[in-house]
């Protein structure tokens, strides 16, 4: 282990391993199959990167996310560690070259997306490489009961047969007991050494509040705890909106979502990490690689889609071990909307087939064609062209991505914001001089009547339709208007890319994966139920509820969650109301109004106490509605 420590010092400049890291590394270096469950931020990757450096030969890392692979390779290269990645969208020739490099170039880590293992020739080439460790990252993706099931992971089920002597390290941040068993079974590592950190975070106070005015409550909480905080929202629009509302309420805030350019992301991140703003309002795109120990509060103002993601996001507070708050603000209507919001947007087979076919015709891909072709993609335009609902279409494309049929990079969110800067009279004059632009300009002015006062976000496809022109032409006109200082114009690029990983086979393609669609929809329904259960269960410690979800039993109540706090406050009051009522009724029977006057307690509490006394047969109610003590 001294060598491992030296490597840690040399490349990461840390003096000690954290948590279970050293035990896991020891197990791997002893050539044992190993299962490791470490929470996000627990330093999972160190567990295979150190053994990769400590041993001769190559470590194969299977990882599901291209962005994650890219990130890691960049990090390793910055440290001077030789690492290479083979993901989707790379031609066979390139893959072959990369594998040659691995063989002769003294590389230490080879990252591979699971789809790549379905090609026999790649597998054969891998068998000829000096692979000494196989790390399966995000191993929960292998289980259909996992939060993020990716059928491509099923392609790695026979790794053990192909590499019988190579130890396998399965890593995950959150696996329920069922998922854990699945991982061990599917990877055929039932005898693996198991390392898991408890899900218990006893310094986090989990709070669920039913509130009508979320902003008001949020501001209250953030003012009371003026330390670094994260507010999670569900979409990009709320990201910007909530951040603005917080600023207006005197709380410094910035925002982060997947559609920002990388310079904007960096800028906003730095504002928050350097504590120039207290709050970062973010979508779930925010999280990877955040290592900020002193986050005091994580607030969710919308229901999360699963307990797994809630646990991970909430867990970003209190990493330094000090008391922290994970708050979920819920309004009564959230329950009612939850099904519509989450379940109504899940595609069925017919819809998925439709989207897949339209996607192919959109890019003019013929039957039997399309493999390895990549395209710039704008989801909103696509949906507008075929009149498809955006969220459901998005979910369909995500599903195709999970299945490995396409690879969809997630950076979409074009925003063109325009405001007119000169008086309308001047605009009319400009139009008369430039008649070919008139139709477009008039359409914009009609569609966005307030555009002289405040910037409007333009819907280019809508304007294009109304003015019977193309988006390119609109952009051209806008640029000219900006040059002449007639408008202020701001465009944030948003185009995502789609790579087709398979040839187009319409029904055959979809039939092959449709059973997974059923499973996935079923899982999503169950996950939503678990979230609703967490929110609506009022009589159990929140910390206990979370641990129970992950299969752990907690004996004692946590003492700091919203349930435990309420429990501490309540009984004293109730006992005293009840006692007051009993002592009053000892004199003579009374009705509830008189009891309110005597006890000076709010009527709902008096009535509640009376109901309990009735239930326990301590009092009885007389025909004149007075209460009398029973003997
Ligand atoms: Zn509790």
Give me the CATH number covering residue 184: 3.40.50.300
Kindly state the average pLDDT of the residues 547-571: 88
Are 472 and 588 in a shared domain?
no
The label of the residue with tokens 């994650």 reads 68
Residue-range definition of the domain harbouring residue 355: 340-412+497-525
Are 36 and 88 in a shared domain?
yes
Are 264 and 161 in a shared domain?
no
Ligand 1 centroid–CA 249 distance in Å is 31
Residue 118, Cβ neighbours under 10 Å: how many? 13
The phi and psi torsions of 339 (rounded to 5 degrees) equal: -65, -45
Ligand 1 centroid–CA 593 distance in Å is 36
SS (H, E, C) 384-424: HHHCCCHHHHHHHHHHHHHCCCEEECCCCCCEEEEEECCCH
The answer, as to whether pTM is greater than 0.85, is no
pLDDT digits over 25-57, tens only? 999 999 999 999 987 666 889 999 999 999 989
Give me the CATH number covering residue 597: 1.10.10.10
Query: In this structure, are residues 167 and 131 in contact, taking their beta carbons and an 8 Å threshold?
Result: no
532 located within any domain: no
Show the tokens assigned to 260.
Answer: 């920002």
Residue 140, Cβ neighbours under 10 Å: how many? 26
For residue 380, name the pLDDT band (cuts at 50, 70, 90).
confident
Are 42 and 107 in a shared domain?
yes
Are 468 and 344 in a shared domain?
no
Are 344 and 485 in a shared domain?
no
Kindly state the average pLDDT of the residues 18-22: 89
Are 486 and 501 in a shared domain?
no
Ligand 1 centroid–CA 575 distance in Å is 21
CA distances from residue 312 to 45, 81, 257, 315 in whole angstroms, order as listed: 17, 29, 17, 5
Number of domains in the chain: 5
Q: How does DSSP classify residue 228? A: -
Ligand 1 centroid–CA 554 distance in Å is 10
Higher pLDDT, 42 or 464: 464
612 located within any domain: yes
pLDDT digits over 385-415, tens only? 999 999 899 999 999 988 889 988 765 445 6
Ligand 1 centroid–CA 200 distance in Å is 11
Ligand 1 centroid–CA 337 distance in Å is 27
CA distances from residue 163 to 114, 129, 158, 187 in whole angstroms, order as listed: 16, 11, 9, 12
pLDDT digits over 289-331, tens only? 677 889 999 999 999 989 988 998 999 999 888 999 999 999 8
Ligand 1 centroid–CA 287 distance in Å is 26
Are 368 and 245 in a shared domain?
no
Q: What is the pLDDT at residue 413?
A: 42
Are 368 and 503 in a shared domain?
yes
Are 293 and 230 in a shared domain?
yes
Are 90 and 212 in a shared domain?
no
Q: HSE (CB half, 13 Å, CA atoms) of 42?
A: 24
The highest-confidence range among 230-244, 287-301, 609-623, by mean pLDDT, is 230-244
Are 406 and 420 in a shared domain?
no
Show the tokens assigned to 603.
Answer: 């009527």
Beta strands in 270-397 (DSSP E): 279-282, 297-300, 324-330, 374-377
């Amino acid at each position: 282990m001294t060598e491992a420590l030296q490597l840690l010092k040399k490349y990461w400049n840390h003096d000690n391993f954290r948590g279970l890291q050293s035990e896991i590394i020891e197990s791997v270096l002893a050539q044992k199959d190993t299962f490791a469950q470490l929470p996000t931020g627990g330093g999972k990757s160190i567990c295979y990167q150190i053994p990769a450096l400590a041993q001769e030969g190559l470590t194969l890392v299977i990882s599901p996310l291209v962005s994650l692979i890219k990130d890691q390779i960049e990090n390793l290269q910055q440290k001077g560690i030789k690492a290479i990645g083979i993901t989707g969208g790379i031609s066979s020739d390139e893959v072959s070259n990369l594998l040659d490099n691995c063989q002769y170039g003294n590389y230490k880590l080879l990252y591979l997306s699971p789809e790549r293992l379905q090609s026999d020739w790649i597998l054969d080439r891998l068998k000829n490489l000096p692979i000494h460790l196989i790390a399966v990252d995000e191993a929960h993706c292998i289980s259909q009961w996992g939060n993020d099931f990716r059928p491509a992971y099923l392609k790695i089920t026979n790794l053990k047969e192909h590499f019988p002597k190579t130890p396998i390290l399965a890593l995950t941040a959150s696996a329920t007991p069922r998922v854990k068993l699945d991982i061990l079974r599917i990877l055929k590592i039932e005898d693996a050494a198991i390392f898991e950190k408890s899900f218990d975070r006893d310094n986090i106070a989990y709070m669920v509040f039913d509130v009508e005015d979320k902003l008001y409550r949020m501001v209250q909480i953030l003012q009371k705890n003026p330390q670094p905080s994260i507010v999670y929202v569900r979409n990009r629009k709320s990201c910007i909106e909530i951040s603005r509302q917080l600023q207006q309420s005197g709380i410094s805030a910035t925002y982060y979502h997947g559609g920002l350019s990388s310079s904007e992301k960096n800028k906003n991140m730095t504002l928050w990490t350097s504590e120039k703003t207290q709050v970062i309002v973010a979508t779930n795109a925010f999280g990877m690689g955040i290592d900020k120990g002193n986050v005091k509060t994580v607030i969710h103002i919308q229901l999360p889609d699963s307990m797994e993601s809630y646990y991970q996001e909430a867990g970003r507070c209190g990493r330094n071990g000090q008391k922290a708050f994970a708050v979920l603000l819920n309004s009564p209507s959230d329950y009612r909307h939850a099904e519509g919001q989450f379940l109504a947007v899940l595609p069925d087979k017919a819809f998925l087939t439709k989207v897949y076919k339209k996607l192919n015709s959109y890019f003019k891909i013929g039957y039997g064609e399309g493999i390895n072709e990549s395209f710039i993609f704008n989801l909103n335009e696509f949906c507008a062209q075929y009149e498809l609902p955006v969220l459901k279409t998005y979910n369909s494309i995500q599903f195709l991505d999970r299945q490995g049929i396409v690879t969809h990079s997630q950076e979409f969110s074009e925003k063109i914001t325009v405001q007119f800067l000169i008086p309308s009279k001047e605009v009319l004059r400009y139009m008369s001089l430039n008649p070919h632009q008139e139709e477009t300009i008039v359409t914009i002015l009609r569609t966005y009547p307030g555009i002289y006062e405040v910037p409007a976000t333009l819907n280019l496809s809508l304007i294009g339709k109304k003015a019977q022109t193309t988006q390119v032409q609109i952009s051209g006109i806008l640029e000219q208007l900006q040059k002449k200082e007639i408008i202020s114009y701001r465009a944030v690029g948003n185009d995502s890319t789609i790579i087709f990983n398979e040839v187009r086979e319409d029904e055959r393609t979809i039939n092959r994966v449709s059973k997974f669609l059923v499973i996935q929809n079923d899982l999503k329904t169950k996950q939503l139920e678990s979230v609703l259960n967490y929110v609506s269960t009022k009589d159990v410690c929140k910390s206990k509820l979370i641990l129970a979800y992950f299969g752990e039993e907690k004996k004692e109540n946590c003492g700091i969650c919203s349930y435990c706090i309420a429990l501490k406050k309540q009984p004293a009051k109730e006992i005293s109301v009840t006692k007051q009522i009993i002592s009053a009724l000892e004199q003579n029977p009374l009705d509830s109004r008189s009891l309110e006057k005597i006890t000076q307690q709010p009527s709902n509490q008096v009535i509640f106490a009376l109901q309990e006394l009735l239930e326990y047969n301590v009092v009885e109610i007389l025909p004149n509605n007075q209460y009398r003590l029973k003997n």
